[in-house]
Amino acid sequence: MSAEPLEPVTPAPVADASAGADIPPDVRSLDLKAKQRVYHDWEARNYDTKFSISYDQRCIDYARDRFRKVVPEGAGFGQVLEVGAGTGFFLINLALAGCVDGATLHATDLSEVMLEVCRRNGEEHGLQIATRQGDAEALPYADASFDLVIGHAFIHHLPVPGAALQEMARVLTPGGTLVIAGEPTELGDKLSWMVKNATWRSFRAVTAVPGLNSLRKPSITDAGGTATDEVLARLEHEVDLHTFRPKDVEKMARLAGLTEVSVVTEELVANWVGWSVRTIEGAVRPGLLGPRWAYAAFHSYLALHRFDDEVLARFLPRELFYNLILHARKPYAR
Ligand SMILES: C[S@@+](CC[C@H](N)C(=O)[O-])C[C@H]1O[C@@H](n2cnc3c(N)ncnc32)[C@H](O)[C@@H]1O
């Protein structure tokens, strides 16, 4: 199945107002996919800053290490597609890492604004990325078009993730490789939610002390945002639709007709620290945490990531770890 690019979604204003005034959109009546598009279109301009995304050694190493956990050195690709590519974090950093040397790069996403940023990020790093807006559950490409299809942190946004795996399998050439990384596991997500919640409550308790209140980030409107920004920001709690059990993701990939299917997981303690850091960064007044904080946070994450990989992963079940990486291949016709 293939599909045409979708029309942009424009949520209806909730009320009439004088010309020029900010009229918050009525997002209540939008279906799940329209909410994804509206939210990610809005999030796109600040997405890289929000998630500390960069195109330097820190993120190049991150992308390469995820990829190399499942794809050996020396594998070559001609046509590479990232689905749910966002601003290009995974694809661009993999290209900068030399993992897709010589390949033509393609990206698709439900959000056209994400793709605009993706193209610009690519150009800034000397990469041409051909983009098409589309739905992962009905990809706008012909059968057997790509010998590598990748994704990062996006199938948990899809109403029917299995349909996207079918589509990714369809657009793969026989013998082609699928890699999806950065998806949350069911148990890992429950554990990290407890950590996030405890961090948030502790931060609020500490900053409730007189004099410490100014450490808190101002509300969106106090920081100069509009009522529309407030409405769209609240959609963040509605767009994360799934967490996954590793064995269910393997089953979905097999049902999509793929072989050599495997799911590896990673990040336990590293993830708890990572989410605590991100929770605090999202809660404090902007500009308060300086480069020393960023340095300490990143190097603690790296050390704990090694500890998770080299020690804990040896005896704890894969279900406990937060991030999963799926690898699969499309079989050659018999
Ligand atoms: C959390 S972001 C991840 C972006 C990027 N892959 C990354 O790792 O930074 C999720 C992305 O999935 C996209 N998305 C959500 N639903 C989608 C769908 N049905 N089809 C294609 N992309 C979708 C969003 O627009 C957004 O860019």
Contact call for residues 184 and 249 (beta carbons, < 8 A): no
Say if ligand 1 is within 6 A of residue 115 CB: no
If one counts the domains in the chain, the total is 1
pLDDT at 23: 81
| Atom of ligand 1 at shortest range from CA of 82 | 6
Say if ligand 1 is within 6 A of residue 106 CB: no
Say if ligand 1 is within 6 A of residue 158 CB: yes
Say if 101 falls within a structural domain.
yes
| Atom of ligand 1 at shortest range from CA of 159 | 19
The region, left, alpha or beta by phi > 0 then psi within -120 to 50, assigned to residue 324 is beta
pLDDT at 22: 79
Residue type, 134: G
Per-residue pLDDT of the chain (334 residues; tens, 9 = 90+): 333 333 334 444 433 444 467 788 888 899 999 999 999 999 998 999 988 899 999 999 999 999 999 999 999 999 999 999 999 999 999 999 999 999 999 999 999 999 999 999 999 999 999 999 999 999 999 999 999 999 999 999 999 999 999 999 999 999 999 999 999 999 999 999 999 999 999 999 999 999 999 999 998 888 889 999 999 999 998 999 999 999 999 999 999 999 999 999 999 999 999 999 999 998 999 889 989 999 999 999 999 999 999 999 999 999 999 999 999 999 997 6
Provide the 10 A C-beta neighbour count for residue 151: 25
Say if 3 falls within a structural domain.
no
Cα 28 to averaged position of ligand 1 atoms, centre (Å): 21
Q: What share of the chain is helix, strand, coil (3-state, %, to 5)?
A: 45, 20, 35
Q: Which long-range contacts (CB under 8 A, 24 or more apart) does 204-210 make?
A: 204/283
| Atom of ligand 1 at shortest range from CA of 151 | 6
Say if ligand 1 is within 6 A of residue 181 CB: no
The whole domain housing 51 covers 32-185+223-266+323-329
Say if 152 falls within a structural domain.
yes
pLDDT at 16: 40
- The three-point CA angle 150-151-156 to 5° equals 150
Q: Considering only CA atoms, which residue is closest to atom 10 of ligand 1?
A: 154
- CATH code of the domain containing 70: 3.40.50.150
Provide the 10 A C-beta neighbour count for residue 14: 14
Say if ligand 1 is within 6 A of residue 40 CB: yes
Say if 181 falls within a structural domain.
yes
Say if 287 falls within a structural domain.
no
Which pLDDT tens digit goes with each residue over 267-325? 999 999 999 999 999 899 988 998 999 999 999 999 999 999 999 999 999 999 999 99
Residues in the chain: 334
Say if 89 falls within a structural domain.
yes
**Ligand 1 mutation pick, 52, 154, 323, max ligand atoms within 8 A of CB:** 154
Contact call for residues 179 and 71 (beta carbons, < 8 A): yes
The region, left, alpha or beta by phi > 0 then psi within -120 to 50, assigned to residue 267 is left
Which pLDDT tens digit goes with each residue over 234-274? 999 899 999 999 999 999 999 999 999 999 999 999 999 99
Q: Considering only CA atoms, which residue is closest to atom 17 of ligand 1?
A: 110
Cα 203 to averaged position of ligand 1 atoms, centre (Å): 30
Cα 290 to averaged position of ligand 1 atoms, centre (Å): 29
Cα 212 to averaged position of ligand 1 atoms, centre (Å): 37
pLDDT at 334: 64
Say if 200 falls within a structural domain.
no
Say if 26 falls within a structural domain.
no
pTM for the full predicted model: 0.92
